[in-house]
Structure 1
């Protein structure tokens, strides 16, 4: 008799994006952490769309349909919706017709509380996982970036996701010093929205702010000649309008948020034992996550800390790859 086995999977449960790594297949799914819910029947919310299709609905739905992001600051803010979202992603990654429930490794912020950890574990089990293991994001990011964290040598990682930035010094497979701050991709978008509203008297949405961040966002020696035209709502007359924004304005908008990350990095370095700090000064700091791609952020942190800073290859997928690489070890029994 043939048994259809179900592969072990690793999930990077991000505030903005969920990546799923399937054993022997690599990354099989990458979708926004968004769920569209129909609230027309009280007490019986119905899931309409999950992932990219739901993201397209943000800011464009009638009153009874709500596009929800059930994760905030790297942890669960809406348990029921997170469970439904996880069930959808697990089914999509493993296939609905499976005989054995998958074993799942999930990444969480390095300073998540016991309650937050339990919520993620329970949500995954209720979504169909046979067994759940949690991995701190800096550890997974470092492994995914190709760092050898098993030796008695200091490695420093900055993982900038959607909801949190996790900064850690790792040696002998464990975190010696760590800090998690709630300043990351979402905060970048919010500061851009506030800046455009204050300077141009125009209201823009989350997706437009993200477009500005990706296309002309810069935080170090920005080129004012680099511009992008975007559409928003004029706050004075309430009508749609077009404005041109340049990279220098983006640098000004993002200044406070990125300096918070730079200061936190400096703080972690200050708390690092001298021998490990010496290793880091020699090897440099590695940045992962989508936020690491913000132009000039590596140079800004390098100038602030006087330590070389490198952006990992395929930085967005590092956490997912790292989770996949440890599946054999955590589920070896």
Structure 2
């Protein structure tokens, strides 16, 4: 009788790490519009990179991925294009998303060996269609995953934020990402009421670009708009304490020459107000559709905010003023969704 020794087919470094390092690898992926985070079971978060890919148009080959590609946005020559393959929380460019996922999986140490491959949990917005969900699954399979499970982002965000959603009590989560905002009430390991908006941090950046163009005849890029949002952005009319101010550089639309203008916190609020109001209105709508028993729980527990967009100054105060409920910010808002996939990984493939 002959026995097949799979370990002898592998190189020495792989054999030394053991079978679990290759065959039993389980990963959680937060496939976001702005960034991708990867969680490896037993290790924690091993990768956090922007969702940007730089491609050479003449050869159709990958030039750079992640932070390196992000630094190329708006600065590339004619033959190189830096793109964001994810838009509004879903895949906008399937081929580029596959290239990006393959790169990140390999960087996290998950390579395909023989007929083995990593088991992956991927988060998707709660409002995606079946076609969009299938596209995410297929991209993960093509990137090298052996088995793929999709989980809705507000569910993962609640787990990652440390909320106990196993019992018959209500918990409310507002997850503001780069491309989507997911609002949900959870109980008994499931989502009771939800609403997903195709707007998030990217829409806030776009609003700043439009405002600066309209008010100052100045054209700025995405990175400059994001910097303005982070430095002086505010979700409340009074702005930041001291009404912080930032110098903004761009191209004058009249003369075509470089120009510098000053933007303060209250002015920035005016740029962001429309998008912020839409998110607040969606939160109130979900509360209106919540069963009364769960509403009583939320009154006691309050609302948990997660996602990078929730870091905008005063966003928690704005929602608290609009709803009359206590609002708290998760300890690590940006990592909540991918940390939640880590919780989901436990036992999901067994």
TM-score (norm 1): 0.97
Whole-angstrom CA distance in 2 between matches of 1:179 and 1:120: 20
Residue 292 of structure 1, aligned match among 307, 310, 316: 310
Q: Which SS does the other structure have where 1:146 is aligned?
A: coil
Whole-angstrom CA distance in 2 between matches of 1:183 and 1:82: 20
Deviation at residue 225 of structure 1 after TM alignment: 3.3
Match of 2:260 in 1: 242
- Note the 1:216-235 alignment, pairs <5 A: 216-220=232-236, 221-223=238-240, 225-235=243-253
Whole-angstrom CA distance in 1 between matches of 2:111 and 2:72: 26
CA contact (8 A) 1:4 1:98 kept: no
| Aligned residue pair count | 329
Instruction: Please say which structure displays the higher CA radius of gyration.
Output: 2
Whole-angstrom CA distance in 2 between matches of 1:118 and 1:47: 24
CA contact (8 A) 2:306 2:329 kept: yes
Match of 1:113 in 2: 129
Match of 2:4 in 1: none
Residue ranges of structure 1 left out of the alignment (5+ in a row): none
Residue 220 of structure 2, aligned match among 195, 204, 217: 204
Residue ranges of structure 2 left out of the alignment (5+ in a row): 1-6, 8-14
* C-alpha distance after superposition, 1:143-201 (max 9, x if no partner): 00000001000000000000000000000011110000012000000000000001111
Residue 76 of structure 1, aligned match among 79, 91, 95: 91
- Note the 1:173-322 alignment, pairs <5 A: 173-220=189-236, 221-223=238-240, 225-322=243-340
Match of 2:62 in 1: 47
Whole-angstrom CA distance in 2 between matches of 1:225 and 1:13: 35
- Note the 1:56-95 alignment, pairs <5 A: 56-95=71-110
Deviation at residue 325 of structure 1 after TM alignment: 1.2
CA contact (8 A) 1:170 1:177 kept: yes
Whole-angstrom CA distance in 2 between matches of 1:329 and 1:168: 24
Whole-angstrom CA distance in 2 between matches of 1:213 and 1:222: 12
* C-alpha distance after superposition, 1:239-286 (max 9, x if no partner): 011111100111110000001000000000000000001100110000
Q: Structure 1 residues 266 and 91 mapped into 2: Cα distance closer, same or farther (>3 Å)?
A: same
* C-alpha distance after superposition, 1:73-107 (max 9, x if no partner): 10001111101100000000025485631100000
CA contact (8 A) 2:111 2:144 kept: no
Q: Which SS does the other structure have where 1:94 is aligned?
A: coil
CA contact (8 A) 2:304 2:327 kept: yes
Q: Which SS does the other structure have where 2:239 is aligned?
A: coil
Q: Which SS does the other structure have where 1:179 is aligned?
A: strand
CA contact (8 A) 2:111 2:118 kept: no
Whole-angstrom CA distance in 2 between matches of 1:329 and 1:199: 54
Whole-angstrom CA distance in 1 between matches of 2:335 and 2:326: 22
Residue 144 of structure 1 pairs with residue 144 of structure 2: no
Q: Which SS does the other structure have where 2:105 is aligned?
A: helix
Q: Which SS does the other structure have where 1:326 is aligned?
A: helix
Deviation at residue 217 of structure 1 after TM alignment: 0.7
Q: Which SS does the other structure have where 2:108 is aligned?
A: helix
Match of 2:149 in 1: 133
Whole-angstrom CA distance in 1 between matches of 2:145 and 2:340: 20
Q: Which SS does the other structure have where 1:329 is aligned?
A: coil
Q: Which SS does the other structure have where 1:330 is aligned?
A: coil
Deviation at residue 329 of structure 1 after TM alignment: 2.3
Q: Which SS does the other structure have where 1:232 is aligned?
A: strand
Q: Which SS does the other structure have where 1:210 is aligned?
A: helix
Residue 170 of structure 2, aligned match among 122, 130, 154: 154
* C-alpha distance after superposition, 1:43-68 (max 9, x if no partner): xx111000000000000011111101
* Aligned-pair Cα RMSD in Å: 1.2
Which of structure 1's runs of 4+ aligned residues deviate more than 4 A? 95-99
CA contact (8 A) 1:154 1:279 kept: yes
Whole-angstrom CA distance in 1 between matches of 2:244 and 2:92: 37
